[in-house]
C-alpha cells in the first residue's frame, strides 16, 4: 500500500465523519478478493472504517487484505454479515448468495461496488477511465503521473500496479483516479469530473441489448461529467467519434490520426520499448519513452498525457512518470526467463486484446509463440468463438483449456471446442484442446524448446498455472 505522509485525520473532506455523513462505520464486502472490490475495501480500511469480507477462493489478494487487518472469511455464510451497516457486492454476486439473503432479511442495505466507488468519487475531483480495453493500464499511468507531480492522489484500479504493489493508494490530495467498468452498466453510478474513454466495441452483450445500447450507456457516462469537467476520448475509435457530436460537455481527443488534439508521431518500437513525439494540436510537447511494449500502450499513454496535461501537470513530469512506468500485473507481465524460454502472463480475454498482445509479441520478440488460452465466460465465447479462432491463430501453437465461467451458468453447445471447430473449418493455426487447466502445464512442457515465448492468457484462473510451467522449464534442454 502506498501512502503519503499526511495523517488520516488531516485528510480534509475524506474520512469516516464525512463520507456517507458518518452514518456508516462497518462495511462487509461479498467477494472481497475480486479485482474491483479489494481496492475499495483497502481504501476504506485505511480511512478508518471497520471492514470485513468473504471470498470462496482464497488468494494472494485476500491474504494481503488479511495482513492489513481486514477480517476475511473463506466461506460465505449468513451469520458473517449480522453486524454490518452495509453490504457491498460485485456484479458477479447472485441475489441468492447466503450473505446477501441474510442482509436483506435484516434490512441491511446491499449495494453494488460501483455505488460505493461513486460515493468516494463524489468527494474528490475524480477522473474515471472507461473503455472496452486498456482501462487498468491507463488508470495506472494517470495515477503514477499525478503521484509524481506530488498531487497526492487516491488511486483505485482493477489490477496490481508494479510501482505500488497493490491496486489502491490513499492520498491526501484533491484527485481520485479510478477505473470505471461498463459491465452491468456499473459506471453509470459514477459522476467523474473528467471522463476518459480509451475505446468502445462490442463486449458484455450478456447485459446490454446490443451494441447500440452499449454505445448509449457510454454516452450517458460521458454526459455525467459536470459543467466544469471534460471528456477525453480516442480519435482512432469510430464508435466514439460517432458519439462525440452528442456530447453536451467539453471534449478533446487523443490518438494517432492527424485530427487528434493529442497525438503521437514518429513512433518507434523495439525490445519492449516505444519512443514517440507528442503534439498538442500544432505544439510539440516533447518526446515520450514507454518501457511497456505495444502500440496499444502508446494509445493508453496518450490518454494519460491528455488527461494530465489538462490538469496542468508539466510535460516533463508526465514524460518522467511514463518512462518509469513498469506496467500492471497480468498485462503482458514477464514471469520468467529460463533456458532461453520467455514466460509471460496476460489478462487478454476479448479478441481485440488477444490480437494486440499476440501481434506485439510476434513483432517485438521474433520467437515461436505458444499461447495457453482459457476463454472467459460462456456468453463471450459464444459471441466471439470464430473471431477467437482467427486471432489465436497468430500464435504458432494454441493450447485451449475449458471455459472459465465466472458468474455464468453453462450454455448448451458452448465449450472451448467451439473455437477449435472454427479453426479447423478455416484451416488456420495449430490448436489443441486439453480440457481442464491442470492439464495445460504438461502439454506446454512437452512441446516447449529453447527460444520459445510462452503466454498464459485469459481473465480467469489460468494465471495459477504459470508457476508450475516456470518450474518445469528448468529441466528443458
- Does 15 score more than 80 pLDDT? no
Q: Whole-angstrom Cα distance, residue 440 to residue 461?
A: 12
Can you tell me the distance from the alpha carbon of 430 to that of 370, in angstroms, rounded to the nearest whole number? 10
Q: Is residue 385 pLDDT above 80, yes or no?
A: yes
DSSP string for residues in 201-266: -S--TTSSSSHHHHHHHHHHHHTTS-TT-EEEEETT-HHHHHHGGG--S-EEEEESSTT-SEEEEE
Rg (CA), the chain: 22
Per-residue b or e along 160-169, where b marks 16 or more CB atoms closer than 10 Å to that residue's CB? bbbbbebbbb
Residue with cell 461513486: 118
pLDDT score of 23 more than 60: yes
pLDDT value, residue 448: 97
Can you tell me the mean pLDDT for 96-102?
97
Phi-psi region at 131: left, alpha or beta (left = phi > 0; alpha = psi -120 to 50) = left
- CATH code at 19-112: 3.40.50.720
Strand partners, 29: 53, 88
Q: State yes or no: pLDDT of 143 exceeds 80.
A: yes
| 268 class by beta-carbon count within 10 Å (0-12 exposed, 13-18 middle, 19+ buried) | exposed
**Which grid cell sits at 243?**
458519439
* Mean pLDDT of all residues in 195-216: 90
- Please give the CATH number for the structural domain made up of 123-324: 3.40.1190.10
Distance of alpha carbon 153 from alpha carbon 274, whole angstroms: 27
pLDDT of residue 4: 42
Of 200, 183, 180, 182, nearest to 191 by C-alpha is 180
Residue-wise pLDDT for 224-264, tens only, equals 999 999 999 999 999 999 999 999 999 999 999 999 999 99
Domain residue ranges in the chain? 19-112, 123-324, 333-473
pLDDT of residue 312: 98
Catalytic residues: 135-136, 179
List pLDDT tens digits, range 410-436: 999 999 999 999 999 999 999 999 999
End-to-end CA distance of the chain: 40
Domains 123-324 and 333-473 share a fold: no
- The share of the chain scoring above pLDDT 70, in percent, equals 96
CATH number for the domain whose boundaries are 333-473: 3.90.190.20
Cα maximum dimension of the chain = 64
pLDDT in tens, 49-80: 999 999 998 888 999 999 999 999 999 999 99
How many Å separate Cα 265 from the centre of its chain? 27
The mean pLDDT value of the chain amounts to 93
How many whole angstroms separate alpha carbon 327 and alpha carbon 39?
A: 17
- 429: cell is 493455426
Q: Which of 21-30, 74-83, 169-178 has the lowest average pLDDT?
A: 21-30
Which residues contact residue 250 at a Cβ distance below 8 angstroms, ignoring those fewer than 6 apart?
Answer: 229, 230, 231
Q: 177 pLDDT exceeds 80? A: yes
Q: Give the model confidence (pLDDT) of 278-301 as tens digits.
A: 999 999 999 999 999 999 999 999
Mean pLDDT of 331-359: 95
Amino acid at each position: 500500500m502506498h501512502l503519503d505522509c499526511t495523517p488520516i485525520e488531516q485528510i480534509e473532506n475524506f474520512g469516516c465523519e464525512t463520507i456517507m455523513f458518518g452514518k456508516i462505520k462497518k462495511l462487509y464486502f461479498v467477494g472481497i478478493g475480486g479485482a474491483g472490490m479489494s481496492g475499495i475495501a483497502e481504501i476504506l480500511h485505511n480511512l478508518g472504517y471497520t471492514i470485513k469480507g468473504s471470498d470462496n477462493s482464497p488468494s494472494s489478494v485476500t491474504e494481503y487484505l488479511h495482513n492489513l487487518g481486514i477480517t476475511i472469511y473463506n466461506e460465505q455464510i449468513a451469520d458473517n454479515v449480522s453486524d454490518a451497516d452495509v453490504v457491498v457486492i460485485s456484479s458477479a454476486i447472485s441475489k441468492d448468495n447466503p450473505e446477501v439473503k441474510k442482509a436483506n432479511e435484516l434490512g441491511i442495505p446491499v449495494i453494488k461496488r460501483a455505488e460505493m466507488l461513486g460515493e468516494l468519487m463524489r468527494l474528490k475531483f475524480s477522473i474515471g477511465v472507461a473503455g472496452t480495453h486498456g482501462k487498468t493500464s491507463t488508470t495506472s499511468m494517470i495515477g503514477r503521473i499525478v503521484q509524481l507531480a506530488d498531487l497526492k492522489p487516491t488511486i483505485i484500479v482493477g489490477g496490481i500496479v508494479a510501482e505500488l504493489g497493490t491496486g489502491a493508494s490513499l492520498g491526501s490530495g484533491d484527485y481520485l483516479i479510478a477505473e470505471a467498468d461498463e459491465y452491468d452498466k456499473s459506471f453509470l453510478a459514477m459522476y467523474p469530473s473528467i471522463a476518459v474513454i480509451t475505446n468502445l466495441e462490442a463486449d458484455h452483450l450478456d447485459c446490454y441489448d446490443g451494441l447500440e445500447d452499449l454505445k448509449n450507456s457510454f454516452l450517458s457516462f460521458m454526459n455525467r461529467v459536470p459543467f466544469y469537467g471534460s471528456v477525453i476520448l480516442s480519435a482512432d475509435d469510430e464508435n466514439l467519434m460517432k458519439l462525440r457530436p452528442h456530447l453536451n460537455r467539453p471534449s478533446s481527443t487523443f490518438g494517432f490520426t492527424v485530427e487528434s488534439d493529442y497525438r503521437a508521431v514518429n513512433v518507434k518500437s523495439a525490445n519492449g520499448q516505444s519512443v514517440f513525439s507528442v503534439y498538442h494540436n500544432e505544439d510539440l510537447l516533447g518526446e515520450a519513452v514507454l518501457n511497456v511494449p505495444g502500440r496499444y500502450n502508446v494509445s493508453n499513454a496518450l490518454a494519460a498525457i491528455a488527461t494530465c496535461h489538462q490538469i496542468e501537470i508539466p510535460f516533463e513530469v508526465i514524460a518522467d512518470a511514463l518512462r518509469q512506468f513498469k506496467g500492471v500485473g497480468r498485462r503482458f507481465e514477464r514471469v520468467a526467463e529460463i533456458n532461453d524460454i520467455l514466460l509471460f502472463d496476460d489478462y487478454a480475454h476479448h479478441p481485440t486484446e488477444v490480437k494486440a498482445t499476440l501481434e506485439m509479441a510476434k513483432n517485438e520478440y521474433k520467437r515461436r509463440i505458444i499461447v495457453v488460452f482459457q476463454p472467459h465466460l460462456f456468453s463471450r465465447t459464444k459471441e466471439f468463438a470464430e473471431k477467437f479462432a482467427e486471432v489465436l491463430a497468430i500464435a504458432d501453437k494454441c493450447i485451449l483449456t475449458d471455459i472459465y465461467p465466472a458468474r455464468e451458468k453453462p450454455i448448451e453447445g458452448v465449450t472451448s471446442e467451439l473455437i477449435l471447430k472454427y479453426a479447423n473449418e478455416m484451416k488456420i493455426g495449430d490448436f489443441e484442446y486439453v480440457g481442464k487447466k491442470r492439464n495445460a502445464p504438461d502439454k506446454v512442457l512437452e512441446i516447449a524448446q529453447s527460444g520459445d515465448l510462452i503466454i498464459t492468457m485469459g481473465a480467469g484462473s489460468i494465471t495459477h498455472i504459470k508457476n508450475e510451467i516456470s518450474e518445469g522449464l528448468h529441466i528443458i534442454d
